[in-house]
Amino acid sequence: MMNSSINRLTDEEIKVILRAADPIIAKGGRTLLAKILKGSREKKVLQLELDSCPVYGYFKDDKLDGIMQKIDWMINFDFLDIEYYGKLPMIIFTERGWHIESDQIAEELFNEWKEWINKGKQNPDMSYLKDRNREMVLLLLEKIKASENQTFIPYLELWEKVDYKKVRDEIRRTILVLNGEMPFDDSIIKERAKSIREALKGLEMQDLLLKCWVCGERFTFTIDEQRYYKSKGFKNPKRCKACRKEKDDVFFY
């Protein structure tokens, strides 16, 4: 069962675990995520090329059980969640978790472009950005605007040729900003930074007060019960304990 007996994770640890989860979202569970963070050389990890994850082996000196506790903390504090696909429990991002992770990915892409510039890379295939998450690519463009770096323009022009109209329009605005033909409003970047700081605080689980669908009475759905239901892939109960007992339906959901 999931628990939160460990101390609060640092902002860096939160970001690392989110980054490790990214390649296995809705594809793998808690154990696989722990093995990425441990730096496991297990066959499945290597077959899926999860050893190429930038934070692979970050917790290599920790025991696997300890890493699992960190993952459970991430679930308990609303950064990750468990969703069942058939009988398989898979890791997914919460809205909070994706908000942080999308910022990390945008920053990785931004830094990759800077490396390309330093290496003099020309005519990269920009189709790799097509069909990526819209929020993330727009954030990347905001980071490029804020850089005021005109050497990004050739890459932007290549990208503009291959993406959809809404993205192309924003790419064109980014080029105009870098050329000084349009003012840059940094409010989006500032607000994003503020929201990331808020998101990293997490949201600790609390007892929930639910209303029974049968008798109409309010009943408490405790933290421990929430963790148990989540670990089993159950939805929140619709009946209070008395009504569940009466119907001999302890696990009704």
pLDDT tens for residues 109-131? 999 999 999 999 999 999 999 99
Which pLDDT value is given to residue 85? 87
Domain assignment present for residue 183? The answer is yes
Which pLDDT value is given to residue 119? 96
Site of tokens 């929430």 = 226
Same domain, 149 and 165: yes
Domain assignment present for residue 185? The answer is yes
Q: What percentage of the chain exceeds 90 in pLDDT? A: 77
**Does residue 83 contact residue 90 with C-beta atoms inside 8 Å?**
yes
| Last-in-domain residue among 93, 109, 141 | 93
- Confidence bin at 3 (pLDDT 50/70/90): low
Q: Region of 57 please: left (phi>0), alpha (psi -120 to 50) or beta.
A: left
pTM of the complete model: 0.85
The count of other CB atoms within 10 Å of the CB of residue 212 is 17
> Quick one: which of 178, 101, 110, 93 has its CA closest to 135?
101
Domain assignment present for residue 173? The answer is yes
pLDDT at 251 over 60: no
- What CATH number should be reported for the domain holding residue 26? 1.10.10.10
Section 172-176 average pLDDT: 98
- Confidence bin at 192 (pLDDT 50/70/90): very high
Site of tokens 């020309």 = 122
Host domain of residue 105: 99-199
How far is the C-alpha of 149 from the C-alpha of 72, rounded, in Å? Answer: 41
> Quick one: which of 237, 240, 230 has its CA closest to 89?
230
Same domain, 173 and 220: no
Domain count for the chain = 3
> Between the CA of residue 142 and those of 67, 121, 124, 139, what are the distances in Å?
35, 22, 21, 5
Which pLDDT value is given to residue 2? 53
Domain assignment present for residue 6? The answer is no
